Amino acid sequence: MFNLLGSDFFKSNPARSQPSYLEKADLLLLQKDWVGKVLYSAGSSSQRGVAILIRKNFNIKILKQQSDEEGRWLAIDAELFGIRYTFMNIYGPTADLPGFFVELSNEITQFGNSYVVLGGDFNNVRNPKVDKTYTWGITRPSQARKAIEVDLVDVWRYFHPSDKEFTFYSHPHISYSRIDYFLISKSLLSITEQMTIGTILVSDHAPVGLSLRLGQLSKLRPTTWRFNSSLLKDEQSVEFIKSRLIQDCSYLKKKSVQHLHELEMDIKKMEKMHSSQSDHSILLELNKLKAKYNSIFQKKAEYTLFRNKHKYYEQGERIGRFLAENRRHRHKCYIRRI
């Protein structure tokens, strides 16, 4: 079930929360009551099939629809509130078929949308330690299964990092597992209202629900800012920008010096503690502080070197000037006699 702005966009149904074993003619029977449009992908046999149901009078524009011939996945390129999304419903294979997940990843890439909502029965346990009650003999998910999850987040696990809830019960193995889930783009997490797992009642799968407020996304989209280059022709504007940059640079420099001073004090404090206690944890913390201190100085040295290179590059006779500067510097530091 996928709920949008209080209206059911993907309504709870076997094809959405679990594999559908309906024929093509039977899928059309779903178009009643609240359902305004039925998008489906059904195989030649009655073993698999997926569907997406869209509510009546729902303002959505379907730009493109793709599916496979076996009824394992259905993807749509849709526009909502002026923003394009990729919605996909899948029924993953029970066997390890790398080509299936590679195909899904390619389809998502071809749509080229930044916002993706992918849900269905993956027939795959993501983390056996927390997503299954009986883990004996379980192999780790293949890299092909992980390929589709790049840049996508398991919504339920994100909001319930350690909870154990399951969506499927296997009678032959007498075990529960979580194999039905939603993967969405990371940028959609901020507008996620609810992610739920229902009760296993009629079938051996539980309904999985996701609620997003996609209408808010159009308000949250960052606007493109462009600098008004005509300000560079105005002397007052240039002076104002220059003075402000000088102030900011001065503030950042003071802040950096203060930070280094605080690090030095912390290092000195940790050294005293370690000399009196010789605790390994204190030594680790001391090494972290020293590494941070050295990293700051390394960045400063790199910046100084960059500035020097730029200076000698801009001014003529680069090699001779560089050597002359070094010679003058050494001459100033030279002690003739003691």
Active site residues: 91, 121, 205
Cβ neighbours of residue 157 closer than 8 Å, sequence gap 6 or more: 126, 127, 130, 181
- Residue for token pair 């299936």: 100
3 state DSSP class of 164: coil
Rounded Cα distance, 56 and 8, in Å: 9
Spatial distance between the Cα atoms of 251 and 35, rounded to a whole number of angstroms: 60
The pair of three-digit structure tokens given for residue 204, joined into one six-digit string: 């051996």
The length of the chain in residues reads 338
Q: What's the CA gap between 305 and 80, in Å, rounded?
A: 51
In this structure, are residues 3 and 210 in contact, taking their beta carbons and an 8 Å threshold?
yes
Angle at 57 between CA 117 and CA 69, to 5 degrees: 45
Name the residue with tokens 């999850």. Answer: 149
Tell me the residue type at 142. S
Pick out the residues of the known binding site. 121, 123, 204-205
Using CA atoms, how far apart are residues 48 and 100, in angstroms rounded to an integer?
Answer: 15
Binding residues for Mg(2+), as ranges, are 121, 123, 204-205
Backbone angles phi, psi at 198, to 5 degrees: -80, -160
Structural contact between residues 64 and 76, judged by C-beta atoms closer than 8 angstroms = yes
Q: E-assigned strands of the chain?
A: 2-4, 7-10, 35-42, 49-55, 61-67, 73-80, 83-91, 115-121, 152-154, 168-170, 175-177, 180-185, 192-197, 208-212
